[in-house]
Amino acid sequence: MTEPDGKPFLYVVVCAAGIAADVGRLITAAQERDWEVGVIATPVAMNGFFDTAAVEARTGRRIRSAWRSPGDPRPFPPPDAVVVAPATFNTVNKWAAGLADTLAVATLCETYGLGVPVAALPCVADALAAHPAYQDSLIRLRAMGVRFSEPYSGEPGEDGARPEFGWERALDLLG
């Protein structure tokens, strides 16, 4: 929901991939494009995959990872758009299957019914991406309207350098 200051609200869902250490780049880019940002991380991602204190300082909000207690107010307004970056093999498959066992996946599952734009930046090794379940998940989520970036394996190229992870691509995909 658009914030009182007039800014639309973006959920950034962070999964437990090594590249998550750089998620601050996405948050900064989103803020520069005038999004208000709230971060929802998987429980595994909260366990050392990124600098949670820096992200909270940058967004001015606590990171959400667990459900609120009944009776507590909703910490974030409803989203105007959602980005999941990085998206892991695990979370992509659970999302497609509707297995809402973390707040992060439950939030992604809800986006379909909310009808808000959703962009996903998977970071999945080629060996895992070859699994038929993963390919089926991509087909299902695309059919639900999810906008995916190009595949990114996180593996070094022929020159030994790791390619750039296109953080800002997520924002471009939102349209």
Ligand X SMILES: Cc1cc2nc3c(=O)[nH]c(=O)nc-3n(C[C@H](O)[C@H](O)[C@H](O)COP(=O)(O)O)c2cc1C
29 vs 99 by CB, closer to ligand X: 99
Q: Which is nearer to ligand X, 77 or 97 (CB)?
A: 97
Q: Which of 156, 1, 4, 18 is nearest to 89 (CA)?
A: 18
Compute CA 154 distance to the chain's CA centroid, rounded to the nearest angstrom. Answer: 16
Residue 95's identity, in one-letter code, is W
Q: Closer to ligand X at the Cβ: 29 or 129?
A: 129
What are the residues binding ligand X (CB under 6 A)?
15-18, 42, 44-45, 88-91, 102, 123-124, 154
- Nearest distance in Å: CB 96, ligand X: 13
Strand runs labelled E in 58-152: 81-87, 118-122, 147-148
Smallest gap from Cβ 71 to ligand X, in A, equals 27
Amino acid, res. 106: A
When the beta carbons of 59 and 88 are compared against ligand X, the nearer one is: 88
Alpha helices in 19-102 (DSSP H): 23-32, 52-59, 89-97
CB of 93 to ligand X, least distance (A): 9
CB of 38 to ligand X, least distance (A): 17
